Amino acid sequence: MTDSFWSDVERHLVRYSGPGSFVPEIVERAEGSFVYTAEGRRLLDFTSGQMSAILGHSHPAVVATVQRQAATLDHLFSGMLSRPVVDLARRLAESLPEPLSKVLLLTTGAESNEAAIRMAKLVTGGHEIVSFARSWHGMTQAAASATYSSGRKGYGPAAPGNFAIPTPNAYRPDFVTPDGELDWRRQLDFSFDLFDAQSVGSLAACIVEPILSSGGVIDLPPGYLAALRDKVHARGGLLILDEAQTGLCRTGDWYAFQRDGVVPDILTLSKTLGAGLPLAAVVTSPEIEEKAHERGYLFFTTHVSDPLVCAVGNTVLDVLHEEKLDRRADELGTHLRDGLRSLGERHAVIGDVRGRGLLVGLELVRDRASREPANELGTAVTKRCLELGLHMNVVQLPAMGGVFRIAPALTSTREEIDLGLSILDQAIAETAPLFG
């Protein structure tokens, strides 16, 4: 049976993520923080599925909602509205600062970013889009054109008017102060000097993640977001924040931008909103929505305003509130980062621990002084962790080294976090000497 499964994989599945597309396990079910394989193995899931299952797998409240809603109202003509849709829009608006109160409910992060960029272009009349050189915003046309961390080569021209600016990486700074720290202000000035030299004066938007996840879990320095907003607004553009992974309590705040007190012109949400089901949102102000509507804004898709996933979104908000998962993410995140730093005292290959809440980056290096990347080690540690019962995700980009994106479910226990740390400790201890 297992042989035929992998034979069917080889014969029939398109490989969609480069070398090593598929984890070599057949997953039969998942519950809480664990997935269970056909061979009876239990794997601790330190990525919450695709960084999405913030309530763990098969949360009882989500299961009950899916069963109830699928039996009554699952999908409608896209111009029809239902109570779960309007309720979710209202509740999202209530969770956000003014003037973010107008909501479009979609399916994926790429789709929400596509809709946001389309709206920004229509409202501003511009077409130029700025994003980070380590960005990831999705695989559809406008979102992919604003994505620079990988996947650009071989697909023909990107959308015209897209510009990359340097990512403010405090661990690998390109502009430094006299004491060797990242000089993000000078870097940001340089970024927009370059943009201005290339721009035709038609900026529509800048789209960024408050914490770049695929880019290596890079947290923007305090103050950066406000300075970026001011530069974008000065050029007539809108600030779009992509909180696919950081929204809804993951960072210890309901939204990552709250730390900086910067309200975006357009906010996109996805992964965490559906807690593993395909649900996304674009949220903006009445002023921007009105202008877009007046100019004929069109984003009429098959699954816009679908009642089934919107009912799940309401349940996700219920659980986040009732279980105070923003506080839990903050507390567990502190425990996780402390544990990883303790591992750093024992393993010289751990170069940096960073992140907020339960979105944490662990960067492996060959040498702490030079910070030479350790790509092969990251791959080997990932493999050994899987053998020991821990699913990890390592970002391997040029000059980034092996950066683990650690994003356990917000419902995790301290014991589960400790189990993951123990397995990681063993995997590094057994693997690192092979790359000495």
- pLDDT tens for residues 40-74? 999 999 999 999 999 999 999 999 999 999 999 99
pLDDT at 400: 54
Bridge partners, residue 132, by sequence: 165
pLDDT at 1: 63
Strands 238-242 and 266-269 come out as: parallel
Q: Above pLDDT 70, what percent of the chain?
A: 98
Q: Above pLDDT 90, what percent of the chain?
A: 94
- Region 338-362: mean pLDDT is 98
Strands 211-212 and 218-219 come out as: antiparallel
- pLDDT tens for residues 18-48? 776 799 999 999 999 999 999 999 999 999 9
How far is it, in rounded angstroms, from Cα 427 to Cα 392? 11
- Region 410-417: mean pLDDT is 98
0.85 cut: is pTM over it? yes
pLDDT at 401: 58
Ranges of CATH 3.40.640.10 domains, the chain: 73-322
Name the CATH superfamily housing domain 2-58+324-435.
Aspartate Aminotransferase, domain 1 (3.90.1150.10)
Question: Which H or E element spans position 297?
Answer: none
245 tagged catalytic: yes
pLDDT at 55: 98
Instruction: Examine the pLDDT at 363 and tell me if it is beyond 90.
Output: yes
- pLDDT tens for residues 119-177? 999 999 999 999 999 999 999 999 999 999 988 999 999 999 999 999 999 999 999 99
How far is it, in rounded angstroms, from Cα 140 to Cα 92? 25
- pLDDT tens for residues 375-402? 899 999 999 999 999 999 887 665 555 8
Instruction: HSE, CB side, 13 Å, CA atoms: give it for residue 227.
Output: 15
How far is it, in rounded angstroms, from Cα 374 to Cα 401? 5
209 tagged catalytic: yes
- Region 258-273: mean pLDDT is 98
Q: Are 248 and 254 in contact (CB under 8 A)?
A: yes
Q: Which of 271, 328, 337, 354 is catalytic?
A: 271
pLDDT at 127: 98
Q: Which of 102, 235, 366, 405 is catalytic?
A: 405
- Region 307-330: mean pLDDT is 98
Q: Are 100 and 265 in contact (CB under 8 A)?
A: no
SS3 assignment, position 193: helix
How far is it, in rounded angstroms, from Cα 190 to Cα 209? 20
Tell me the average pLDDT of the chain. 96
- Region 1-26: mean pLDDT is 88
CATH of domain 73-322: 3.40.640.10
pLDDT at 398: 55
SS3 assignment, position 370: coil
Q: Which of 69, 187, 245, 396 is catalytic?
A: 245
How far is it, in rounded angstroms, from Cα 355 to Cα 368? 19
Q: Which of 136, 187, 330, 384 is catalytic?
A: 136
Instruction: Examine the pLDDT at 219 and tell me if it is beyond 70.
Output: yes
Ranges of CATH 3.90.1150.10 domains, the chain: 2-58+324-435
Q: Which of 209, 253, 306, 330 is catalytic?
A: 209
pLDDT at 396: 62
- Region 299-325: mean pLDDT is 98
- pLDDT tens for residues 235-261? 999 999 999 999 999 999 999 999 999
